[in-house]
Chains A and B, each alone.
Chain A
Amino acid sequence: MSKKWFLLAAVILLAGLVFISCAPDEEAEVPVVDEEPEMALSEKHGGTLRSAYYAPTNLDPAFLSTVADDQIGRQWSDFLVFIDEENQPDESRSVAASWEVDESGTAWTFNLRQGILFHDGKEMTSRDVKFTFDRLRDPDIGAATVGLYSNIVDITTPDDYTVVFQLEDPNPDFLKDLGDYHALIMDADNEDFSTNFNGTGPFIIERYEPEDRIVFTRNPNYWMVDDDGLPLPYLDGMEIIFLGESSAQIEALRGGQIDYLIYLPTEFIPTLEEDPNITVYQTPSNTAYVLRMRSDRDPAGDVLVRQALKAGTNRGDIIEGALGGYGFPGRDTPIGPAYDQFYLEVPEPERDVEKAKELLAEAGYADGLEITIHTQESSPVPSIATIWKEQMAEIGVEVDIQLVPSDVYYGADDMWLEVDFGITDWGSRPYPQPYLDLAYVCDAQWNESHWCDPELDELAAAAAKEMDPDERVRLYHEIQEIFMERGPIIVFFVNNLWGANENLQGLEPTMGLGTALDLRTVYFAD
């Protein structure tokens, strides 16, 4: 064969290869669910939202645990009670159209919307709702919600569209408990929740590649409509790429490969704010870095030491220096301004070096004190520790900082529950009670500071069941006074932060735990 022919053959072969590799993938065109052609679509309709986040660890609603898991779950299913951006129940976005509670505060009746369809076309009924919550409270299944729902005695379904929850004790926060992020309504006929995602939600999982990405398409039969009566969601689909590195996420957003990022670390905000194509959204939240002092042994077992360290701390400087100002200096209580009237509004405690030294001397540490603080390496915790160390040096307390990886700090040996001083991050809950029950009453499961104050226990138990809102406010205020006077924590609240392409509209920042936004009404401006 001459050289010329050989060359020609090579060119043809190459062209063929290019053609094959570029040929459209015909299988991708098949729609997942039949369209309903008679429905008109909004002008806002269209576009695929691209985002990036850590890979999820579990998609079974009963075992969601990370922000990534939560963000995915709420796309493909719905809540019986949807908790809105201000942590209040919103029936317009809930599967329950309305609800009522009897006078005792123990019998809650929910009226379901009719005609809500699962992705496979089956209608959702009270049977599915009962199934969902029975599964979540079943000790044999062992979901994280078993404790949360232990107050439920029975769930009954008088008809297809009515569900009644019978509680043992009155629970003023019950609606918010039903909106917990695990409580996605499940199909009662589903047999494998880790691979079958048959929900009622606005998006359908089209493709899930556990280490790489998840792809959603729009649910054409979704039940919610917008203010003009046109069907939601607006977006045609969604894609979340699993990228574990914050800097890669940020560069992808700046480079326009993705449109939207949740849970932004504060150190990237200045760069994003300079970018004309990016909008940064933020809202105060009760997400907190809690500097806690172990109070059942020396040195912080002495209330004078706790008071001295608190007096020597400049909270505002730490918010500025470590959180870039994107936060709020707490009042040394777990209840922050995100809780509105439950929050006891007092001025930021002023730093008083002299008073701190006096308190230390009174506690017997006139010649100074050496302490060790253990905490996780992940930003911004080391900065908080470093600034605090400098502040403590000025009151004669020498702080040794021990940084460990997060999975060691929270690891099998429960370092975070053991060490004398530590900085722990706590997510934002829809109401204050869980913090008290989980971390501050004497026998709390995660009583990391080992603080035990009978007066606090009494008040916390009363607040948990108090159905009268005003009385509840009073109880929470009293609790905060105790924390300020003798509590074991110094608290730094950090804002929830998002970044999005400026043409993405309709994003409403939320105080919610996972910070995943409601994407049903989000759309691309042309």
Chain B
Amino acid sequence: MGLYILRRLGFIFLTLFLASVIIFIVTQFLPGDVARIILGQFATEAAIDNLREELGLNQPAYRQYLNWAGGFIRGDWGDSLVSRMPVRPIVMQRLGNSIMLAGLALCIYVPLGIVLGVIAALKQNKLPDQLISGISMAFVGLPEFVSGLLLITFLAIGAGWFPANSSIDPDAKFFESLPYLILPAVTVSLTGLGYVARMTRSGTIDVLGSDYTRAAELKGLPGRQVLVRHVLRNSLLPTVTIVAMGIGWLLGGLIVTEAVYGYPGLGRLLVYGIQRQDLPIIQAASMIVVAAYSFSNLAADIIYGLLNPRIRVGG
């Protein structure tokens, strides 16, 4: 097991390295010029040239990459090209915000999705199942800018229960931020809920039809005990994967939701970086997102193994 984890960690670092190279290459092809963006359309060529020199943009591309990578490994993530402020505190602050939102969303949609999925499985093809499956799939298909704006219109501006905008102060503590987190978390949960419910439903249906469940029922165990001790433990295996994949998505992929609510998460920071071609910000933020995806996948595989000894790998 230890060896397996070590090998997986090695792959994660390889992934991070490749991702950083790819991102760097892609940014080289973005239209526009960061010096022009900083100094504006009307600054003179001489001023633009001076700034490019100052920012090290006149160096060959591979040198720029090595400078960045060398610093990054040593923990120096560089300064933002636009604001000249150190990138690391900015990215870390945004990561903290993203974790708050991801945490709340997971707390909402994972338990709810599991409960709904189990209910749907138990009432397979009956009305509750059809309702749950139909509605949750509809939410999955609803784009976040639509569901988000609907929630804002009815719950924030109409009913006045929640703030319409979630631009929390960067220094705000979790409990101060909580009211601002609810609508974005619900928006995200509407999408996540459907996946979890469907995965749980199909997993549970499989297990319900299995021999060991029938055996447990036949030996006279009460239905509730069969469900908790025999069915759930096995039927939730695929759900674990879906939840783990969700963590990466929640940390870096909520670009639309964060934009609709103005929530200062990693996704919006990434967009901001790309719009301004602020390479150190793009690189640092995407490294965090790639790392989040990789590690949550690793965690999923390990948990999977713990829950299901049959696929446990290595000694």
Contacts and interface: CB of A to CB of B under 8 A. Distances in A.
Interface of A: 18, 21-22, 25, 52, 55, 57-58, 63-66, 69, 139-144, 146, 194-195, 209-213, 241, 243-245, 247-248, 251-252, 254-258, 407-408, 410-412
Contacts of B145: 247
Give the interface size bracket for B toward A: 35 or more
A469 B247 CA distance: 68
Interface stretch (B110-118, B165-173, B185-193): B165-173
Interface stretch (B46-54, B132-140, B292-300): B46-54
B37 to A, nearest CB: 6
Nearest to B261: A248
A243 B31 contact: no
Contacts of A64: 40
Given A195-B84, A243-B262, A252-B167, A143 B43 contact: yes
B163 A255 contact: yes
Contacts of A210: 80, 82-83, 85, 90
A407 B171 CA distance: 33
A288 B140 CA distance: 42
Given A52-B262, A65-B42, A412-B33, A57 B276 contact: yes
A141 B47 contact: yes
Contacts of A21: 173-176
Interface in B199-243: none
Contacts of A139: 44, 46
Contact of A245 (B32, B84, B170, B260): B260
B79 to A, nearest CB: 11
Contacts of A58: 38-40, 82
B164 interface: yes
A22 B173 CA distance: 7
Contacts of A22: 173, 175-176
B278 to A, nearest CB: 9
Contacts of B80: 210
Q: Tell which of B47, B175, B260 has the most Cβ of chain A within 10 Å.
A: B47
Contact of B165 (A25, A57, A212, A257): A257
15 contacts: A21-B176, A22-B175, A58-B82, A139-B44, A142-B50, A143-B44, A144-B40, A144-B43, A210-B90, A241-B262, A243-B165, A244-B272, A247-B260, A248-B260, A408-B31
Contacts of A410: 41
Given A63-B40, A66-B40, A252 B165 contact: yes
B84 A57 contact: no
Interface stretch (B6-14, B67-75, B149-157): B149-157
A98 to B, nearest CB: 31
Interface of B: 31-33, 36-48, 50, 80, 82-85, 90, 94, 145, 149, 152, 156-157, 163-165, 167, 169-171, 173-176, 259-262, 264, 269, 271-272, 275-276, 281
Contacts of B261: 248
A316 to B, nearest CB: 31
Contacts of B170: 209, 212-213
Given A21-B173, A58-B39, A65-B42, A251 B149 contact: yes
Contacts of A194: 84
Contact of A255 (B156, B260, B272): B156
A258 B276 CA distance: 25
Given A142-B48, A143-B47, A245-B260, A251 B156 contact: yes
Nearest to A408: B31
Given A241-B167, A247-B145, 7 more contacts: A21-B176, A55-B272, A142-B46, A142-B47, A255-B152, A258-B165, A407-B32
A209 B41 CA distance: 24
A252 B260 CA distance: 10
A63 B38 contact: yes
Q: Which of A18, A63, A194, A408 is the most central at the interface, judged by chain B CB atoms within 10 Å of its CB? A: A63
B84 A65 contact: no
A25 to B, nearest CB: 7
B178 to A, nearest CB: 10
B146 to A, nearest CB: 11
B40 A211 contact: no
A211 B164 contact: no
Nearest to A21: B173
Contacts of A140: 46
A470 to B, nearest CB: 32
A245 B259 contact: yes
B84 A252 contact: no
Nearest to A248: B262
Contact of A65 (B33, B40, B171, B269): B40
A244 B36 CA distance: 19
Given A143-B43, A255-B157, A25 B171 contact: yes
A23 to B, nearest CB: 9
A243 B260 CA distance: 10
A399 B87 CA distance: 47
B40 A257 contact: no
B175 A255 contact: no
A254 B33 CA distance: 36
A248 B157 contact: no
A63 B39 contact: yes
Given A58-B38, A63-B39, A142-B47, A212 B264 contact: yes
Given A21-B176, A251-B149, A412 B31 contact: yes
A408 B30 CA distance: 10
Nearest to B91: A211
Given A55-B272, A257-B163, A408-B31, A245 B40 contact: no
In this complex, the member of A63, A142, A244 whose beta carbon has the largest number of chain B beta carbons within 10 angstroms is A142
Contacts of B272: 55, 211, 244
Contacts of A248: 165, 259-262
B284 to A, nearest CB: 12
A65 B46 CA distance: 17
Nearest to B173: A21
A387 to B, nearest CB: 26
B176 A243 contact: no
A18 B178 CA distance: 12
A349 B48 CA distance: 44
B36 to A, nearest CB: 8
B250 to A, nearest CB: 19
Contacts of A18: 175
Q: 4 closest pairs, A vs B, by CB?
A: A65-B40, A255-B164, A142-B47, A210-B83
B31 A411 contact: yes
Contact of A63 (B43, B90, B174, B175): B43
Given A241-B167, A251-B149, A257-B163, A146 B260 contact: no
- Interface-central residue, B36, B37, B167, B264, by most chain A CB under 10 Å: B167
Contact of A213 (B32, B85, B167): B167
Contacts of B41: 65, 144, 410
A195 B79 CA distance: 13
A31 to B, nearest CB: 19
A212 B175 CA distance: 20
Nearest to B44: A142
B137 to A, nearest CB: 26
B40 A252 contact: no
Nearest to A275: B157
Contact of A252 (B45, B164, B175, B259): B164
A211 B175 contact: no
